[in-house]
Amino acid sequence: MSKTALLFAGQGAQVVGMGRELAESSPTAKAWFDRADAALGCALSRVCFEGPETELTNTENAQPAIYLVSWVAFQLLREAAPGFRFDATAGLSLGEFTALAAAGVFSFEDGLHVVRQRGRFMQEACAATEGGMAAIIGLDEAPTREVCAEAGVELANLNCPGQLVISGEKEKIGRAIELAKARGAKRAIPLPVAGAYHSRLMASAQPKLEAALAAVPLNVPAAPVIANVTAAPHAAPSDIHRRLVEQVTASVRWEDSMRYLLARGFTRFIELGPGAALSGFMKRIDRSAQVLNVQDPASLAATIAALAG
């Protein structure tokens, strides 16, 4: 029997208009958007639906907005397929919080509040440092690590074969891009981000996030949730707390996380939330895996049909 994993989008997936068609076509979706606005005391749904882009891409807004749209997609999938069961969850960086909420580790509202705070803390860290990130395309992990060591930057994301992301001080990122190209990278391009996520430059956000998480009751996951830091399932609630704090400065081991699931018989992966980046990564990790996604009414209908078939 095939196993199914749910995958939740991370920061960078945001796009103005995300979730609007879901809210317009589903009373359930509309109710969740209203519930989020009430919980936060602000019109987060308006930012999702109307932007402007500068407001949506602000880390303090982008993180809860993606969490919200991803959660709504998850709820609509459950509603449209009442007998649907999943066997594990995973999420890219921010998406790990949505994955934990889907597994019942904390409530929707608690997750929303923590993610909003996480975004604020990371935005503050960005403002206090001069950081950046770059995508390294077509260069293996070992030479990329050599580039990082020589340039004084860090390996932030190991997404899939041929796609890595580095993070650090802006001037050092420029040097790393030159080194990566010299070592044979097909492309090495700076990313339009506010700072050096998943690097030591985010360290100031860690004690603040640790305090915020300490106020949130954490339950044992109802299904395995793969941790970005270890590429293995979270254990006890105390372990979850620690890993989420570590994750702020640690590398996101996404490819290893997916290979962990593939090695244990997972054959179906459903990406929930805006964009389809995680689906693209999976196609480069294992083309034989079934990859579905839910981000709007059309993709929801296609996923339901695939599940039924």
pLDDT cut 90: percent of the chain above it:
96
Q: Is the pLDDT of residue 212 over 90?
A: yes
pLDDT value, residue 157: 97
Q: Is the pLDDT of residue 140 over 80?
A: yes
Residue 6 C-alpha from the chain's centroid: 12
pLDDT value, residue 309: 81
**Amino acid in the structure at residue 111:** G
Rounded to two decimals, the pTM is 0.96
Cα separation values, 277 from 13, 110, 172, 216, 266, Å: 8, 26, 27, 30, 19
pLDDT value, residue 104: 98
pLDDT value, residue 296: 97
Confidence label for 1 from pLDDT (cuts 50, 70 and 90):
low
For 147-198, the pLDDT digits (tens) are 999 999 999 999 999 999 999 999 999 999 999 999 999 999 999 888 999 9
Is residue 258 within 8 Å of 283, Cβ to Cβ?
Answer: no
Under the phi-then-psi rule, with left for phi > 0, alpha for psi from -120 to 50, and beta for the rest, what region is 92?
beta
For 86-127, the pLDDT digits (tens) are 999 999 999 999 999 999 999 999 999 999 999 999 999 999
Cα separation values, 67 from 14, 61, 103, Å: 10, 10, 14
* Arithmetic mean of pLDDT over the chain: 96
pLDDT value, residue 192: 84
- Separation of alpha carbons 210 and 11, rounded Å: 20
pLDDT value, residue 253: 98
Q: Of the residues 198, 234, 251, 299, which is catalytic?
A: 198
Active-site residue flag, 198: yes
Domains in the chain: ranges and CATH: 3-127+200-308 (3.40.366.10), 130-190 (3.30.70.250)
Please give the helix or strand (H or E) that residue 283 lies within, else none: helix 277-285
Cα separation values, 196 from 247, 248, 270, 285, Å: 13, 10, 29, 26
Active-site residue flag, 93: yes
Q: Of the residues 93, 167, 199, 257, which is catalytic?
A: 93
Confidence label for 226 from pLDDT (cuts 50, 70 and 90):
very high
- Separation of alpha carbons 78 and 83, rounded Å: 8
Q: Is the pLDDT of residue 61 over 90?
A: yes
Phi, psi of 267 (to 5 degrees): -125, -15
pLDDT value, residue 43: 96
Is residue 106 within 8 Å of 176, Cβ to Cβ?
Answer: no
Cα separation values, 211 from 50, 129, 216, 236, 251, Å: 33, 22, 9, 18, 22
pLDDT value, residue 70: 98
- Separation of alpha carbons 36 and 112, rounded Å: 8
pLDDT value, residue 194: 86
